[in-house]
Structure 1
Amino acid sequence: MSNWADLTNGKRIKCLRGSDLTQQGLAEAAGLSLALVQKAEQDRGELSIGSLLKLAHALNTDVSVILGQQAPRRGMAQGDRAALRQLSDAVHGSALGEWDGIDEPSSTDELSEARDRAWDAYWASDTAALSAYASKVLMEGQARYAGSTGAERERLGAVLASTYRVAASCSNGFGRRDLALSALTSAKWLANDVGDPVLTALLESTLSWVHLRGAKLPRAVAVAERAALAIEPSFSSGSRPQLLAYGRLMISAAVAASRREDESAADDYLSQAHAAAARLGRDEKLYGTSFGPTAVKAEAVGIHVALKNYGRALKLAGHPDMKKLPQTMSKVARNRYKLDVALAQCAAGLHDKAADTLIEVGLDAPEWVRHQALPGVIGKRLAKVSTARVRHISELIGVPLIA
């Protein structure tokens, strides 16, 4: 077979479909029209992010595989494969009670610090460090949790649940949805056991994202909306953790609604998120999750891009608050926002700016970019103006953008 990255998107879809699945069968499995599937395999027209998600789910693969950024069977770097194996062993082993041999687990303070470092590694796209810290917390933490009582048990339960959540987030980012769901199952049991409604709400936000990447868009919206209703705060007297969790859930619902092209619902959810952020007054972080005025503006840009409201997205991106992003904004959040801006720039005919933005992201986070769908979408659109420019960008950032 030719190099996977050298094939067109249409040929990759056809190859993934194989001889056992007809075009009609793929269309039905993805919930798309036969005409759209035929056009996709013939490389006629552009696929929306929503259609790519649905095709990837029906083909039991990830969007990045269709776009040629990864080869089938998770063609990822050896270091990432090793890190995910370690993470998988820890998620399953800790849940099954296989922590024999850990006679002196780390203290609760040490485990809490390791949990924080795992989240820092996640937001820095350092999979190896995330796996090492998370594995330590899950195995040693469960060993200590089994014999703890009272306040220590509650604190340990929250530390463990938050660590299972970062494991789920990492796994989902690599398309390992089964592992993500396993981690969330353990996390939800712990959050319920220690009675932490805010942590439970944030776990539902992650579950909504898992459904989003699995193209289960109605479920993604429903999960986020249900959890938001359960924790909905009074805007006059709600606690800051409640406001943060509620706002993040409203963002999750808005993102999923935008992928369904339901602009009215997305605007309603986004309005609630803006209200919660305004009440907070500043960006804050809790259990590895950031939320506040800047976070909402950045997410709103992506939501309007998904709805093809490119002018509105660029207007938001031009807001003074977004000209210089705060140092507290993580590398992943910052670069995801910039990819949304680049896509809007492409749509507005600002091709040179879009290319510069894409290069900036690729140089800042080359490994993270390999697992994202948008760079390939942006590259394909830029190639309509200059194929040579896109090939140069691909060489510069080390990521194949076009066949």
Structure 2
Amino acid sequence: MSSLSENVRNHRRRVGLSQEGLAEEAGLSVGVIRKVEQGGNVQVETLHMLARALGTTTSSLFATEAPEPVHVNAGDGPKLTELRRALMPPVGLIETLAEPEQVMPLPAIQRDIDDSHALYHADRYDSVAKRLPGILRGAEAAVTFSEDDEARQEALAVRANAFLLAGKYLTQIRRYDMAYYALSQGIRDARETGRKYVAATGVVGMGWLLLRQDRFDEAERLAAATAEEIEPRLSTATPGQLAVWGELLQRVASAAMRNNRPDVAKEARRMTATAASALDVEHVNFREHWTTFGPVTAEAKVIEDLSLIGDARGVLHRADEGVVGRKALKKYGRPSANNWDRHRLDVARAHALLGSHTDAMDELNAIKRSSPEWLRHQSMARYIMGDILTGRKRTLSADMREMAVHLGVGG
């Protein structure tokens, strides 16, 4: 096993750089390099900058150390108990413990899934959490008590949708082990029923999960292989098929960019733009694909790449131009709330990097007004707020104090 500090030190020595030389190449302070090589905590964004300076992939710097002990009070406690029971029921020598009275008509379960998607994208996470156990139990019972193979196939298709909804919610709230289980089960159910594009949209979700776990190599390979498998003929493709393909290409680009593979990312973004331009507008159909996809989403992700490499001026230059400009949104349609809010977080980060704390707070407050619960789950928001608190020389304004409390960031 090797630690992060050892990996960075070994790569630095291999390319013949001193700590001062690496700091200059990476655009970081010598203090940050020393902190990393002494075993201090570091953001993944900092590792991206080190990887570019060292000419290696970000994942090659990751540690393979044993984890710290889990504290007794860590975990969710009773908050997700019912969802955990419904998602991962006990399994013994007989079928899982579903009850006949839990069987619901499949159309009713699917309506609950559709309604829960709407709640999720309306930032009503508590409502989604309350609905999910009943949805999952109903879908499980429908599969268990199917009368024949045809009925079982239909039930499996609905259960796949239920699992993918659970995976989306659990990834968003960073319960990654539960999310992995839900997504993998959803993909398997969709594959078993021959619903290739439903399975592919599950892969989009799996790619998001892997990105959040900094598993960049795996995210890129999985998304690339799936995108190749489902690549549509542009002249005959449906909007849903184009959206799933485009979403997968976005996962390829995001993983490659984070892993310091800019050439791969650039090509994937080019292909994503092809898929988006074939749609003309933002397309949304959560039964067909993971989220909204179209020209605005594709451009927002290009801007995200600029944010990732620390090009704050580049972010601000493109943020209100072209298809992401507020006037153009009337023509192309708005992306999902999550994608748009993430884009505006990139804008807020750019302002913070340039010392424009008032502008950064304007962006954070706008997101808080529309998506307060989503914002609480965003580590980038906490990083931005932490930078504002650290760099602020004057007394904090009232909205800065309120935002710090909302995000759980200490001053």
Alpha-carbon separation, structure 2, partners of 1:46 and 1:215 = 13
Pairwise CA distance, 1:117:
1.8
Match of 1:210 in 2: 209
Q: Is the 8 A contact 1:261 1:307 kept in 2?
A: no
Q: Aligned ranges for residues 56-135 of structure 1 at < 5 Å?
A: 73-74=74-75, 82-93=78-89, 97-103=95-101, 105-135=103-133
Q: What per-residue deviation string (whole Å, max 9, x for no partner) do you get for residues 290-321 of structure 1? A: 21112212222212211333333223311253
Q: Distance in 1 between matches of 2:63 and 2:369?
A: 27
Alpha-carbon separation, structure 2, partners of 1:268 and 1:181? 28
Deviations 1:209-250 (A, max 9, x none): 221111111111111111101101122222322211110001
Give, in whole Å, the separation in 2 of the partners of 1:386 and 1:59.
Answer: 37
Greater RCO (CA < 8 Å, at least 6 residues apart): 1
2:373 to 364, 367, 370: 367
Does the C-alpha gap of structure 1 residues 44 and 333 become closer, same or farther in structure 2, counting only changes over 3 Å? same
Q: Using structure 1 for the length normalisation, give the TM-score.
A: 0.78
Aligned-partner Cα distance in 1 for 2:300–2:396:
26
Output the amino acid matched with 1:285.
V
**Aligned-partner Cα distance in 2 for 1:296–1:254:** 11
Are the equivalent residues in 2 in contact too, given 1:173–1:371 (CA < 8 A)? Answer: yes
SS class of match (2:284): strand
Q: Deviations over 1:71-125 (max 9, x none)?
A: x835x7xxxx655322221111298853433425221111111111222232233
- Displacement after TM superposition at 1:183 (Å): 1.0
* 2: CA distance, partners of 1:95 / 1:159: 21
Residues 361 and 400 in structure 2, CA contact (< 8 A), matched pair in contact too:
no
The count of residues paired between Structure 1 and Structure 2 equals 365
Instruction: Report what 1:219 is aligned to.
Output: 218
Mapped to 2, the partners of 1:45 and 1:144 lie a distance apart of 47
Structure 2: which 5+ runs fail to align?
A: 11-18, 20-31, 49-57
Contact conserved, 1:138 with 1:160, CA < 8 A, in 2? Answer: yes
Deviates more, 1:206-215 or 1:51-60: 51-60
Write the letter of the residue equivalent to 2:86. Answer: A
Which residue of the partner structure matches residue 340 of structure 1?
Answer: 346
* Distance of 1:264 and 1:396 partners within structure 2: 42
Match of 2:293 among 291, 294, 313: 291
Q: Give the structure 2 partner of residue 309 of structure 1.
A: 311
Partner of 1:259: 258
Task: In structure 2, give the amino acid aligned to 1:27.
Answer: S
**What SS class does the counterpart of residue 235 from structure 2 fall into?**
coil
CA distance in 2, matches of 1:148, 1:329: 41
Match runs of 1:229-248 below 5 Å: 229-248=228-247
Compared CA separation, residues 328 and 132, structure 1 to 2 (3 A): farther
Structure 1 pair 388–105 and aligned structure 2 pair: CA distance change class (3 A): farther
5+ long unaligned stretches in structure 1? 1-20, 62-71
1:231/1:246 contact within 8 Å kept: yes
Q: CA-to-partner distance for each residue in 1:256-306, whole Å, 9 max, x for gaps?
A: 112123222212111111110111122112335221112212222212211
Instruction: Kindly report the root-mean-square deviation, in angstroms, between the aligned alpha carbons of the 2 structures.
Output: 3.4
Tell whether 2:278 aligns with 1:279.
yes
What SS does the aligned partner of 2:407 have? Answer: coil
**Is contact 1:394–1:401 with CA below 8 Å preserved after alignment?**
no
Mapped to 1, the partners of 2:275 and 2:266 lie a distance apart of 14
The residue number in structure 1 matching 2:359 is: 353
Task: Indicate how the Cα distance of structure 1 residues 164 and 204 shifts in structure 2: closer, same or farther if over 3 A, else same.
Answer: same
Cα distance change of structure 1 residues 370 and 104 upon mapping to structure 2, 3 Å threshold: closer
Q: In structure 2, what is the Cα distance between the partners aligned to 1:379 and 1:199?
A: 38
SS at match of 1:289: coil
Q: Is the 8 A contact 1:141 1:156 kept in 2?
A: yes
C-alpha spacing 1:129/1:307, structure 2 compared with 1 (3 Å) = same
Aligned mates of 1:283, 1:82 — CA distance in 2: 39
Contact 1:94/1:142 (<8 A) preserved: no
SS at match of 1:285: coil
Q: Structure 2-normalised TM-score?
A: 0.77
- Structure with greater Cα Rg: 2
1: distance between equivalents of 2:345 and 2:63? 20
Q: Percent of aligned pairs with the same residue?
A: 21
* Deviation (angstroms), 1:33: 4.1
